[in-house]
Chains A and B, each alone.
Chain A
Amino acid sequence: MTLALKTSASTTLPSRRDEDWRWTDLYGLLRTLPAPSPRIAETLQPGGPFKGLAKAELAIANGRHNWWPGADSKTVEFFEHQSPDNPYAPEELPMAAMAAEQALEPPVSIIQFNGDDVALLRLVTEATETSHHARVGVVVKTGVSATLLESYEGKGGRYLSNTLIEIIVEDGASLERVVIAEDAEEGVGVSTAIVRIAPGAKFAQTVLTSGARRQRIETRVNHPGAQAEARLDGAYLLDAQRHADLTTVVTHAGVEGVTSQLTKGMVTDQARGVFQGRIVVSPGADQTDARMGHHALILSEKAEIDAKPELLIFADDVSCAHGNTIGALDEDALFYAEQRGIPQAEAKAMLTVAFVGEVVDRIEHEGAREIAAAWVARKLGSV
C-alpha cells in the first residue's frame, strides 16, 4: 500500500496548487509524465558551452551517461551507484523524488574530486514529447578546491528533462559551480541540486539561464554555519514566451555561517521570470551573516516577474538583509547613450549587459567568467 502510493506520487507532476510550484505549473502544461526518451542515435562528442576548460567530462544524454576521464584520472574519478536510496518526499521535493526513482542508466553517476581540478557536467537533451531523468552525485574531498562547469543543452520540443544533483563539499573543501542552461524554447527542464557543505567549506554557484517553456533550477543548501560560506548567484535572460524559475533554499543550522546571494533578471516579450529565495536561520544559528539580492528589469509590458524573497530567522544575534527591485531600464541613462550616438537597441543591450554583468563578475574561474560574459552578451544582443 505504501509502495503503491509512493510510486503514484513520484510520477505526479507538481501543479500550481503546490505552494512552492505555484508559478511553475508543470501539471497544467504536461498533465502526465511523457513517455521515456529514446537513446540519442549519434555518438555524443565531448564539448558543450564550456568546451576546452576541462578534460574530465560527464555528459548525460537523454538520461544515459558518457564519461571522459581527465588528464589525471585520480584527481577526478567517476563511479556508478546501482542501488541508491531515495530520501526525498514527493510532497516536499516532487521532481527530486521523481529523478531518484526514475533515473536508470545508471541510477546515480558520481563525480569525485580527490584533488584540485575542473570537470564538465553536461545534461544533453534531444527529445520531443518524451522525458528522461538523471541523478548525479558530486563529492569534493576534504581540503580540495574544485570547479564544476555544468550545462543544460536542450534540443527538440515538449520534452521533460529532470535532473537531480547531490553535492557534498567536505571539511575545508571548496566548490565553484557555474551553470549555463540553454533549453529548447518548447522544452521543459527541471534541475534540483541538494548541497551539503561541511564546516569550513565553501560553495559558490552562478546559474545563467535563457529559460524554456517551463524551467526550474532549484538549489537547496544545508549550511552548517561553522565558518562555512555559500554564494548563490544567478541571472535569467528571457524573451519570447520563455519561463525560468530560480528557486533557492539555504538552511543555516549552526553558528557563524555566511551566505551571499545575488540574482539578476531581464524579461522581455511575454516572458516570465520567477525568483524564490528562502534563507532559514535555525534556532541557535547565531552570528549568521546572510544577504540576498534580487534585481530585475522588465523590458516589455507583457513580460512578468514573480519574486518571493524570504528570510525566516529563528536566532537572535544575526546579520541578515534582503533587497528586491523590479523596474524598467533607466530612461535617462538610455537617452544619454543615444545622445552620444548609440542607437536605441544597442544602447538597451549595452545597459542590460552591464546590469547583468555584476553577477558574471562574481564568477571566480576566469575561463568560465569569460564564457559567461560572452554568453550574456550574445543573449542580450538581440533584445
Chain B
Amino acid sequence: MLKIQNLHARVEEKPILKGVTLDVPAGEVHAIMGPNGAGKSTLSYVLSGRGGYEVTEGSAELNGDDLLALDPAERAAKGLFLSFQYPLEIPGVPALTFIRTALNAQRRARGEDEIAAPAFLKLAKEKAASLKIDFDMLKRGLNVGFSGGEKKRMEILQMAMLSPKFLILDETDSGLDIDALKIVSEGVNALRSPERGMLVITHYQRLLDYIKPDKVHVLAAGRIVASGGPELALQLEAEGYDRYVGAAA
C-alpha cells in the first residue's frame, strides 16, 4: 500500500523531513504522533503534493505508483485522500457541487463513467444522514460559516463519497468537542477495510481511543524515532515527547 523510503523534504531551503521511512500495508491503520514542529503536517503535504515543499531525496509509492511524480489531482485519482486540519471555506461552490465535481474528475482520470445525478444524490443523502449532516447544508457554499465540528464531518462525508484507497487524517481531532469527535471517529471507522490503509496524524493520544491504530510511530525532528503498538501512544501521553526530542537532536 503506502511505502515511504528515506524521504527528505524542505521548505524554502529549510530541511523539515530528514529521512522518513514508513510502510503502511492495506487494511492497517498507523498513527503518527509527535511534538509540534516535528514535520507531521509537512509529511501529509509532501505526500499529497502541495506546492512549496521540495523533496530532495527518497521515494513515496502508493500501490506501486510513484506519488512524487504525480500532481495533486492525479494522486487523488489514485486514491489518496488528505483530511485537512483546517478544511477550507469555498464561497459560491455548494458542497454537493464540489463533491460531485471531484468525484467525476477522479472517475474520468481513471477512465470510468461519470456518476449519474440521481445516483449521486441518493448516495449523498445516505452518507449525510449517517454523519448527522443536515442535507440542506450541502446546498450551501462548502464549509462557509460551518463550525469546526461541521467542517470535519464534511471531510468525512467527502471521504465516504470519494471512497479513497488511502486516507491521511491530519490532526482531525483538533477543535472537536467530545460529541463531534465520536461522530467523526465513527465515520472514519466505518471506512476501515482490508483494502484500505490509513495514516492518522495527531499530537494527542485522545483520538486513538476512538480510532484504534495497529501501529504507532513517533516523528521527531523529521525522522521516525520510535515505532510500536497502541501502548506507545499511552506511554507518550504519560511521559510526553521530551525524550524523543532529545534523541532526535
Chain A residues within CB distance 8 Å of chain B = 330-333, 335-344, 346-347, 350-351, 353-355, 357-358
Contact = CB atoms under 8 A, between A and B. Distances in A.
Given A337-B102, A343-B105, A357-B92, 17 more contacts: A335-B50, A336-B90, A337-B98, A338-B49, A338-B72, A339-B50, A339-B72, A339-B76, A339-B81, A340-B162, A341-B102, A341-B109, A342-B102, A346-B101, A350-B98, A354-B90, A354-B92
Interface string B193-219: 000000000000000000000000000
Contact of A342 (B50, B73, B87): B73
A286 B144 CA distance: 36
B154 to A, nearest CB: 11
Contact of A332 (B88, B98, B106, B141): B88
9 contacts: A331-B51, A335-B72, A338-B71, A340-B98, A340-B158, A341-B73, A346-B105, A354-B141, A357-B92
A339 B48 contact: yes
Interface string B88-116: 11111100001101110110010000000
Contact of B73 (A332, A338, A355): A338
A332 B89 CA distance: 10
Contacts of B72: 335, 338-339, 344
A203 to B, nearest CB: 26
B14 to A, nearest CB: 19
A344 B71 contact: yes
B83 to A, nearest CB: 10
Interface bracket on B? 20 to 34
Given A340-B76, A340-B98, A333 B92 contact: no
Nearest to B93: A354
Contacts of A330: 88
B76 A338 contact: yes
Nearest to B99: A340
B84 interface: yes
Nearest to A331: B51
B77 interface: yes
A240 to B, nearest CB: 25
Contacts of A354: 90-93, 141
B4 interface: no
B68 interface: no
B82 interface: yes
Nearest to B50: A335
Contacts of A332: 88
A333 B48 contact: no
A328 B93 CA distance: 18
B111 to A, nearest CB: 14
Interface of B: 48-51, 71-73, 75-77, 81-82, 84, 87-93, 98-99, 101-103, 105-106, 109, 141, 158, 162
A341 B92 contact: no
A341 B48 CA distance: 11
Contacts of A338: 49, 71-73, 76
Nearest to A336: B88
Contact of B103 (A333, A341, A353): A341
A342 B106 CA distance: 7
Contact of B106 (A341, A353, A355): A341
A134 to B, nearest CB: 36
Contacts of B106: 341
B102 A340 contact: yes
Contacts of B87: 336
A360 to B, nearest CB: 10
Contacts of A336: 84, 87-88, 90
Query: Quick one: which of B76, B84, B89, B92 has the most chain A CB within 10 A?
Result: B92
Contacts of A340: 76, 81, 98-99, 102, 158, 162
B51 A351 contact: no
A335 B88 CA distance: 10
A347 B101 CA distance: 9
B73 A344 contact: yes
B135 to A, nearest CB: 20
A332 B82 CA distance: 13
Query: Quick one: which of A333, A336, A343 has the most chain B CB within 10 A?
Result: A336
A341 B76 contact: yes
A344 B75 CA distance: 12
Q: Which 10 A-B pairs give the minimum distances between C-beta atoms?
A: A354-B92, A341-B76, A341-B106, A340-B102, A338-B72, A336-B88, A357-B92, A343-B73, A354-B93, A341-B102
